[in-house]
Chain A
């Protein structure tokens, strides 16, 4: 059982019988008033977005999802294909079902596929993944614009902000929980 104070981005709960994942969470407290927890949640089956505001004291059941380790194979249109290496069973998850995790899927990545009953509804990726930068502007030494970050595209097509010293071809570590640059991989 979760209380409203446990809610955070990425938490999975049951609402009206469906599994939901918290995608945005905001703490609000009008002056001298009570704490309010504003949440935006995505239905993990059909992708519907729900906005709900809770007071302290509300409780939620965790969405109990089964996980199976699988390998990411390839993408075809909006369908992402995964395979269980023990029995070669393949499953398909839609882009909507994957949400932000699609940004980190490189061929052969081992992921945990989430099953709600029999249905595959999403994947868990590791907290940190290494991805290669395929496009970014070169570091203009002596740049006096004062900008301390620049956009970079990684091999999955995902675009994020990185420090100015990162060059094309380099491998960087991304924190998949925030989607932000974490460190440069040396070597």
Chain B
């Protein structure tokens, strides 16, 4: 057997990846967060129309640690973070692995705008610690990390980058296509961008804006056209959450997809969860950006094809 040259030459990327993870832990430790571990294998993942869990002997591999982390919040843990593997069926591409690494964190004293600031601080801290001087080169462009980062609403993004208004895009059922073709490539070209205030139908676990129930308090972070993180002011109304989950389950059923059991324990404990904001960040993608890697394959030791 000859030397696995492809694996051997990933040494530099894997070394930097480990350093980035060290720095993330340092950041959260300094901010008073508790690092937690929750089970990967769960009986009832949060029902979401377009996220497909992998079955695992009658249960499922989690698609994100969200449900268990919110149960920790409900039990009085105010600031928690986790770095863990997650699984999503059939997701494979330049930016997708069916088994990937998620960084997820929650805190009780912020809303989604406060979380944007913390997200900026984290990424600037990590970039500085690996020797990037306030900027990163990605996709042939220089991207400044100096804040504050741009914030743009979903409504503004449709008006600016597509021939349709947000309402028209939803009516024609081309929201996702326009997002991928016309909007994402523009997001985060000169500096990172937070795109926020999604239609209520696209934030199954997000709180709706108190003064506008058509809008979910949700944002996504983009750098260099790459979606890095998704965040919410968390929905804490248990009966509202149950009815949204029912809606997602019906949607899955109509798409011919597996319908998982309702996460009842989570819904019971949600009543005790204080106001909080939470965010899930694709760690492999953050490493890609900081290392200027064009494929997710370059920043993990093994892809499924190599096993």
Q: Please give the residue numbers on chain A whose beta carbons come within 8 Å of chain B beta carbons, in ascending order.
A: 5, 26-36, 38, 53, 148-149, 163, 183
Contacts and interface: CB of A to CB of B under 8 A. Distances in A.
B180 interface: yes
Contacts of A149: 9
Contacts of A163: 5
Contacts of B95: 27
Contact of A29 (B2, B50, B175, B202): B50
Contacts of A183: 2
Interface SS of chain A: helix, strand, loop or mixed?
loop
B90 A5 contact: yes
Contacts of B177: 36, 53
Given A27-B91, A27-B96, A163-B5, A34 B50 contact: yes
Interface in B1-15: 2, 5, 9
B13 to A, nearest CB: 11
Contacts of B50: 29, 32-35
A28 B181 CA distance: 10
Interface string B106-124: 0000000000000000000
The listed residue with most A CB atoms (<10 A of its CB), out of B49, B50, B179, is B50
A163 B9 CA distance: 10
Interface in B252-272: none
Contacts of A148: 9
Nearest to B94: A26
Interface in B40-73: 48-51
B131 interface: no
A33 B179 contact: yes
10 contacts: A29-B91, A30-B184, A32-B50, A32-B202, A33-B175, A33-B176, A34-B50, A34-B176, A53-B180, A148-B9
Nearest to A37: B93
